[in-house]
Amino acid sequence: MPEIKVTPLGAGQDVGRSCILVSIGGKNIMLDCGMHMGYNDDRRFPDFSYITQNGRLTEFLDCVIISHFHLDHCGALPYMSEMVGYDGPIYMTHPTKAICPILLEDFRKITVDKKGETNFFTSQMIKDCMKKVIPLNLHQTVQVDDELEIKAYYAGHVLGAAMVHIKVGSESVVYTGDYNMTPDRHLGAAWIDKCRPDILISESTYATTIRDSKRCRERDFLKKVHESIERGGKVLIPVFALGRAQELCILLETFWERMNLKAPIYFSTGLTEKANHYYKLFITWTNQKIRKTFVQRNMFEFKHIKAFDRSYADNPGPMVVFATPGMLHAGQSLQIFKKWAGNEKNMVIMPGYCVQGTIGHKILNGQRKLEMEGRATLDVKLQVEYMSFSAHADAKGIMQLIRMAEPRNMLLVHGEAVKMEFLKGKIEQEFSINCYMPANGETTTVTTNPSVPVDISLNLLKREMALGGTVCYGDGFLVSSEQALKELGLNEHQLRFTCRVQLQDPHSDPDTLHRIYTHLKSVLKGYTIQHLPDGTVMVESIVIKVSSSAEDPNTKVLLLSWSYQVTFLRC
């Protein structure tokens, strides 16, 4: 039986470093190629030696598909293609192709130029890698080769994020990447048609969470920011450059306008302009409200939010700062956090998931003394708040997607093992399908029952049903013989087959025939045997005649004959 094999090289019972290998119909596909934000050593990249220990990856992979531009999904791509070696096609949507190299370069600067790390990709490697990218349009079926085809669906989450339907023959897999089933202030909800894949590979970041009303969360967020500003405190909101940043900027912009607040709001230098440029360029990827009002007012041109300069962090008085990156693991957000951590008037609001090992994860777990680089200890006195504006599907959203796609099997990645286990049980109970959650390096094998679609003549179907017959399905199509002859312009012919048998019998020819008839009746139970008036016996479609031999009257000759209707094709 045919099989589909799925092996996570990253994001197996873990969040971060998404990289999933799928073998389907003799094709090998890599889904995402991310880096782990919690590590600074070799563990930050997937272990590509699992695929091959010598030779380039091109020989083993048919294509690579990137779901969106977050670094935990694309951060290892230049390393994989340029340093390990891969020259095959890389697929991603147009917005992902535009934004991906900017985020990769920003991270390279932090890692190499500021931290001085080696064994990392260069700016040129990022450019060379992006030359291999083939952009995808939503709902467009792309033929990778004669047998492998892929199709992208809207995933919400961030600008350009896509779920991918992979098909080889009648076998198929859907990979969600990160997705959001709830529309927000700037993006729509994820959607896929009822494609019934053999396996649905879904992220499960919030596998046990059912979020409260979005409006309640927004109200709590604005209340906390306002209270901190009123008491003269500074508010740090660590975000990634695109995504939740724009969502929260729209929220604060409208609140500042309504409340006529004067405290400054800042965003990391340069990123506001870049983000605004890409949202303008890819406006069709935003939600309906923004598309409708875009000509009158661009929602991403903010009056109250200004570019941040690092010297502003020391300014007296209240302020709100959006700084990158989002988990406080490096960069400007970490520098500002170090400066503001000692003042209890200040506040840090973590608006999304934080990977284990990052400063963000440590402070959310209540750690108040942090060991920083150079063995310095940082006392955390500011208020720490977690408000989930994360654009991942919650448990309810994951179940909703399963109802949409109707998969035959389910496989969970990009989540914590304990939470996955809980969701796995819920899925198997509600949908009566197998659900898998392999760890990194562990292979899940699913046996498939490929169905072959068959076109059948309506007349033939009706005739078979009327006769109580069974229509057999095969590879291709079924038509009645009359219709086939008519369409192909062929004639039907009759072939007659005969066989002569001699036996010794002194009786007359009619007596011999009668004795044969009686004998056949007694031994061939269940067969139709007739003695016909024309002096023949018929066994089903075989006709038996008896005549005496010209040389010897006691020798009887039995002539057996039967016919077939056949069609000759002239080659």
DSSP-assigned states of every residue in 225-238: HHHHHHTT-EEEEE
Contact 12, 439 (CB under 8 A): yes
- Amino acid letter, 33: C
Do 116 and 228 share a domain, yes or no?
Answer: no
CATH number at 36 reads: 3.60.15.10
Predicted pLDDT at 571: 38
Do 239 and 370 share a domain, yes or no?
Answer: yes
Do 226 and 257 share a domain, yes or no?
Answer: yes
Torsional class of 19: left (φ above 0), alpha (ψ -120 to 50), beta (otherwise) = beta
454 pLDDT band (50/70/90 cuts)? Answer: low
Percentage of residues in the chain having pLDDT higher than 90? 54
Do 381 and 412 share a domain, yes or no?
Answer: no
- List, edge to edge, every strand of the sheet that includes 347-350: 305-308, 265-268, 319-323, 234-238, 347-350, 383-386
Whether 440 is in a domain gets the answer: yes
Cα(378)–Cα(363) distance, integer angstroms: 11
Whether 309 is in a domain gets the answer: yes
Q: What is the DSSP letter of 418?
A: H
Higher pLDDT, 561 or 123: 123
Mean pLDDT over the full length of the chain? 88
496-533 per-position pLDDT tens digit: 888 888 888 888 888 888 888 888 888 888 888 888 88
Mean pLDDT over 339-348 rounds to 95
Contact 414, 15 (CB under 8 A): yes
288 pLDDT band (50/70/90 cuts)? Answer: confident
Predicted pLDDT at 476: 54
- Amino acid letter, 549: S
Whether 571 is in a domain gets the answer: no
Contact 96, 57 (CB under 8 A): no
Whether 218 is in a domain gets the answer: yes
Do 117 and 264 share a domain, yes or no?
Answer: no
Is it the case that residue 332 has pLDDT exceeding 60?
yes
Is it the case that residue 570 has pLDDT exceeding 60?
no
Mean pLDDT over 39-53 rounds to 88
Predicted pLDDT at 569: 47
143-186 per-position pLDDT tens digit: 999 999 999 999 999 999 999 999 999 999 999 999 999 888 88
Is it the case that residue 446 has pLDDT exceeding 50?
yes
CATH number at 290 reads: 3.40.50.10890
User: Of 88-97, 352-361, 389-398, 557-566, which has the strongest mean pLDDT?
Assistant: 88-97
* Cis-peptide into 325, omega within 30 deg: yes
**Residue position matching structure tokens 């339907």:** 165
Predicted pLDDT at 11: 95
Cα(369)–Cα(372) distance, integer angstroms: 9
317 pLDDT band (50/70/90 cuts)? Answer: very high
Predicted pLDDT at 327: 87
Q: Angle between the 94-108 and 123-130 helix axes, to the nearest 10 degrees?
A: 170
Torsional class of 489: left (φ above 0), alpha (ψ -120 to 50), beta (otherwise) = left
Do 238 and 222 share a domain, yes or no?
Answer: yes
Predicted pLDDT at 453: 64
Is it the case that residue 275 has pLDDT exceeding 90?
no
Domain boundary (386, 405, 428) is at 386
Higher pLDDT, 457 or 249: 249
3-state secondary structure of 374: helix
Do 224 and 278 share a domain, yes or no?
Answer: yes
Whether 149 is in a domain gets the answer: yes
Q: Which of 203, 218, 253, 385 is catalytic?
A: 203
Do 415 and 512 share a domain, yes or no?
Answer: no
CATH number at 515 reads: 3.30.310
- Amino acid letter, 180: N
Q: Which value, to the nearest 10 degrees, does the dihedral of the CA atoms of residues 456, 460, 461, 464 take?
A: -140
Mean pLDDT over 9-15 rounds to 94
Predicted pLDDT at 226: 96
Do 439 and 309 share a domain, yes or no?
Answer: no
Predicted pLDDT at 17: 93
**Considering just the CA atoms, what is the radius of gyration of the chain in Å?**
36
Q: Angle between the 94-108 and 271-281 helix axes, to the nearest 10 degrees?
A: 170
Q: Which domain holds residue 302?
A: 214-386
**Residue position matching structure tokens 């009668």:** 514
Whether 327 is in a domain gets the answer: yes
Predicted pLDDT at 566: 64
Do 333 and 288 share a domain, yes or no?
Answer: yes
Is it the case that residue 358 has pLDDT exceeding 60?
yes
Contact 191, 153 (CB under 8 A): yes
Q: Distances in Å between the alpha carbon of 203 and those of 29, 305, 399, 424?
A: 18, 33, 12, 12
Do 46 and 176 share a domain, yes or no?
Answer: yes
Spatial CB neighbours of 289, under 8 Å, sequence gap ≥ 6: none
E-strand ranges in 372-512 read: 377-379, 383-386, 409-413, 434-436, 444-447, 454-456, 476-478, 492-504
Is it the case that residue 200 has pLDDT exceeding 50?
yes
Domain boundary (386, 404, 430) is at 386
Predicted pLDDT at 93: 97
Contact 307, 272 (CB under 8 A): yes
The pair of structure tokens assigned to 311 is: 């010297």
User: Could you tell me the pTM of the whole model?
Assistant: 0.74
Predicted pLDDT at 346: 96
Task: Say how many domains are in the chain.
Answer: 4
Nearest to 48 by CA among 540, 557, 441: 441
Q: What is the DSSP letter of 182?
A: S
Active-site residue, 203 included: yes
Mean pLDDT over 359-363 rounds to 93
Do 330 and 354 share a domain, yes or no?
Answer: yes
Cα(327)–Cα(71) distance, integer angstroms: 12
Least confident of 110-124, 178-192, 308-322: 110-124
177 phi/psi in degrees, rounded to 5: 60, -145
Domain boundary (363, 386, 409) is at 386
